[in-house]
Amino acid sequence: MVDSSSFETLIESPVIPVIVLSEVQLAIPLAEVLLDSGLTVIEITLRTEVAMSAIRLISEAFPKAIVGAGTVTTHDQIVLARDSGASFVISPGISKKMCQAANSSYLPFLPGIATPSEILMAREAGFSICKFFPSEGLGGVERLEMFAQIFPDMKFCPTGGISEANLESYLSLASVPVVAGSWIAPEALILAKDWVEIEARAQRALEIASRTGKA
Ligand code: 3PG
């Protein structure tokens, strides 16, 4: 059985920026601006060749950063992420193999779910928090309200289509301690090195979160 409370205790900030990074030299300035803005938990998706190097660079340069790997879909990626300095791993989905791999690597794991059956699978594997993905495409807040009635013991990190426009409605749900999304630092802003705009988005996200009492 996995004790996924370790993921919850890791989550110092209610908003996790989801990063797609294609230029490794941008890892440090990006992490710096996110950390300075108060976003201490950062998800680097394994969608680019430099993702593992970026995780290593950030975790070594900023010991206070909680940097993890996202878009993790195989056992080998979990092991590599751990060896690269990741503090957690996030998957878009859930499988027995992935749960076992996370368990044996001792890494906090956030499995992705979309249906009640997958929530059951996650709960049976010992998880109390899951990524709800892709949230907006699956009914968003309304679907989470339904899940809360059926699974009052479960918490969710909605991801997929979260933005400044709907952040408050998500974080207002008791079952949602944290959300994740790419809107704070989308790839185009990173490549343009628009740190000012990324900082402004991070600060606005935390302001919205504080209105819900979660920041
Ligand atoms: C993810 O990898 O978690 C999602 O692609 C993030 O979704 P978003 O880009 O809609 O925020």
pLDDT tens readout for residues 176-193: 999 999 999 999 999 999
pLDDT of residue 3: 47
> Between residues 215 and 195, which one has the greater pLDDT?
195
CATH code for the domain in which residue 84 is found: 3.20.20.70
pLDDT for residue 4 is more than 60: no
Across 63-89, average pLDDT? 95
Band (pLDDT 50/70/90 cuts) for residue 105 is confident
At residue 143, the 3 state secondary structure works out as helix
Please report the atom of ligand 1 found closest to the CA of residue 43: 3
The first and second tokens of residue 64, run together, are: 């206070």
pLDDT of residue 173: 98
pLDDT, tens digit, 9 for 90 and up, residues 24-52: 999 999 999 999 999 999 999 999 999 99
189 vs 34: CA distance, rounded Å = 13
pLDDT for residue 1 is more than 70: no
- Look at residue 28 and tell me if it is in a domain: yes
How far does the centroid of ligand 1 lie from the alpha carbon of residue 181, in Å? 5
Distance of CA 208 to the CA centre of its chain: 18
Residue carrying structure tokens 């993890």? 68
Q: Rounded mean pLDDT of the chain? A: 95
With a 6 Å cutoff on the Cβ, whether 18 touches ligand 1 is yes
pLDDT of residue 181: 98
Please report the atom of ligand 1 found closest to the CA of residue 163: 11
How far does the centroid of ligand 1 lie from the alpha carbon of residue 173, in Å? 20
- Look at residue 119 and tell me if it is in a domain: yes
Q: CA-CA distances (angstroms) from residue 31 to 41, 46, 90, 112, 188?
A: 10, 16, 18, 25, 16
Please state, for a pLDDT cut of 90, what percent of the chain lies above it.
88
Full residue range of the structural domain in which residue 96 is found: 5-209
DSSP state of 24: G
With a 6 Å cutoff on the Cβ, whether 206 touches ligand 1 is no
DSSP state of 63: T
148 vs 121: CA distance, rounded Å = 16
Band (pLDDT 50/70/90 cuts) for residue 12 is confident
- Look at residue 200 and tell me if it is in a domain: yes
Number of structural domains in the chain: 1
pLDDT of residue 52: 98
- Look at residue 141 and tell me if it is in a domain: yes
- Look at residue 215 and tell me if it is in a domain: no
pLDDT of residue 2: 43
Among 18, 77, 131, 135, say which to mutate for ligand 1: greatest number of ligand atoms within 8 Å of CB.
18
Q: Are 32 and 193 spatial neighbours (Cβ–Cβ below 8 Å)?
A: no
Please report the atom of ligand 1 found closest to the CA of residue 186: 9
pLDDT for residue 11 is more than 90: no
With a 6 Å cutoff on the Cβ, whether 158 touches ligand 1 is no
Structure pTM?
0.95
> Between residues 5 and 199, which one has the greater pLDDT?
199
Q: What stretch of H or E contains 15?
A: strand 15-19
Band (pLDDT 50/70/90 cuts) for residue 215 is confident
Q: Whose CA is nearest to atom 2 of ligand 1?
A: 71
55 vs 62: CA distance, rounded Å = 11
